[in-house]
Amino acid sequence: MNKFLRKDLASFTPYHSPIKPYEIKLDANESPFPHHDDFKKVMSDFCADNENITRYPDTDAIKLRNQIGKFYNIDAENVICGVGSDQVIDMIIRAFISPNDKVVMPTPSFSMYKLSTIVNHGRAVEVPLDSEYEYELDKFINTIKKVQPKLVFLCTPNNPTGCILERNDIIKVIENCNCPIVVDEAYAEYTGISVIDLVNKYDHLIVLRTFSKAFGLAGLRTGYAIACKDMIDTIYITKPPYNISTYSQRASMFVLEHYEFYMNQVTNLVEERERLAFELSKLSIVQKVYESGTNFVLVKVNQENIKKFLETKLILIREYPSTSNLASCIRITVGTKDENDKLLDTLKTI
Ligand SMILES: Cc1ncc(COP(=O)(O)O)c(C=O)c1O
């Protein structure tokens, strides 16, 4: 390791995600569907205007924030955009966390909460889910009360387990928290459960959303947070200027303009998820398929090296180390019907 690296990062390895050859990609919870027919034309016309390319983007993404605001019946001032919700997570932590401050988060959950906390000198306090990978609400709330964190992350539906907290339970956590609390709703389109309508009721609530999943824009990296104006103004302090490219701003507006088209895809995907889960549960290599409110399923298997085997068939999935709290688990993103059938046929040959 480089001798100049900060000591507390010495055990970290950089995040790389090498693109392996594939025909079916079910490893990153992306949308498997094509974009709306008009997408290509609108975006190529947009690029044909030289000003959209040569000039810096609108650093405040005001048109996009206005549109998001209209959509949720809130003001643009209640919205802040980031290069994916990954960047918004980092902005939030940098806004609220001083060295050694505690950040409470579930585990297993989305890895960026912990990584960003540590990189920004905070201390991650992880609250384990139960043995069925469900939230233990009392334990989560008691931890918040006990450690008095400066920030809390709640991920629902949770990645990588797929488990859901009902709205009343989310509110219970919010009400038991006297620091900023981030409710990460990256997969909320798949459940319809949201607390966005409560951001002006609870001034410590920050809801996180992304265009990477249901709206198929993972490659363009737009995410956003919704909170009361004062909270958004605070997070703005750590927002890098010009963070969202002009192209990404326009594409994000396009998908909101065609909301129903993308929500139809969500409906199809949810149906396909249930079919895939049912078919997976019949396989001899499968011990358990966990219930999911997302576009993926977590599966406990009784066979090692399934990921490697599938890679030889050009199918990518996610696997977890045997030393982690997800030992023997694989995570499969729901693909198109055809992709899921090919995956199932391939798994049957094991
Ligand atoms: C729970 C959760 N939050 C946030 C993200 C980050 O999404 P993005 O940075 O693409 O908006 C992901 C991506 O997988 C996720 O699963």
Q: Cβ(186) to ligand 1 under 6 A?
A: yes
CATH says 56-257 is which class?
Answer: alpha beta
* pLDDT score for 8: 84
Q: Cβ(122) to ligand 1 under 6 A?
A: no
Please tell me the distance between residue 85's alpha carbon and the centre of ligand 1 in angstroms: 6
Ligand 1 atom having least distance to the Cα of 29: 14
Instruction: Return the CATH fold of 7-30+260-348.
Output: Aspartate Aminotransferase, domain 1 (3.90.1150)
CA distance 138 to 333: 30
Residue 47: phi, psi to the nearest 5?
-75, -25
Calculate mean pLDDT across residues 239-248. 98
Ligand 1 atom having least distance to the Cα of 86: 9
Position 17 confidence tier, pLDDT thresholds 50, 70, 90 = confident
Which residue is closest in CA terms to ligand 1's atom 12? Answer: 186
- Beta strand extents in the chain (DSSP E only): 24-25, 79-82, 102-107, 123-128, 151-155, 181-184, 205-210, 223-227, 286-289, 296-301, 315-316, 318-319, 329-333
Calculate mean pLDDT across residues 220-225. 98
Locate the domains of the chain by residue range: 7-30+260-348, 56-257
Q: Cβ(113) to ligand 1 under 6 A?
A: no
Percent of the chain with pLDDT over 70: 100
**The tokens 């927002």 sit on which residue?**
239
CB 248 within 8 A of CB 221: yes
Q: Cβ(262) to ligand 1 under 6 A?
A: no
Position 12 confidence tier, pLDDT thresholds 50, 70, 90 = confident
Please tell me the distance between residue 89's alpha carbon and the centre of ligand 1 in angstroms: 9
Rounded to two decimals, the pTM is: 0.97
Please tell me the distance between residue 23's alpha carbon and the centre of ligand 1 in angstroms: 23
Read off the tokens for 21: 């050859």
* pLDDT score for 16: 83
- For 20-53, the pLDDT digits (tens) are 999 999 999 999 999 999 999 999 999 999 999 9
Cα dihedral: 311, 317, 321, 324 (round 10):
180
Dihedral sign for Cα 13, 15, 20, 23, please. positive
Q: Cβ(85) to ligand 1 under 6 A?
A: yes
- 298's CB contacts (< 8 A; 6+ apart) are 133, 160, 161, 162, 289, 290, 292, 326, 329, 330, 331
Please tell me the distance between residue 276's alpha carbon and the centre of ligand 1 in angstroms: 23
Q: Cβ(86) to ligand 1 under 6 A?
A: yes
Q: Cβ(210) to ligand 1 under 6 A?
A: yes
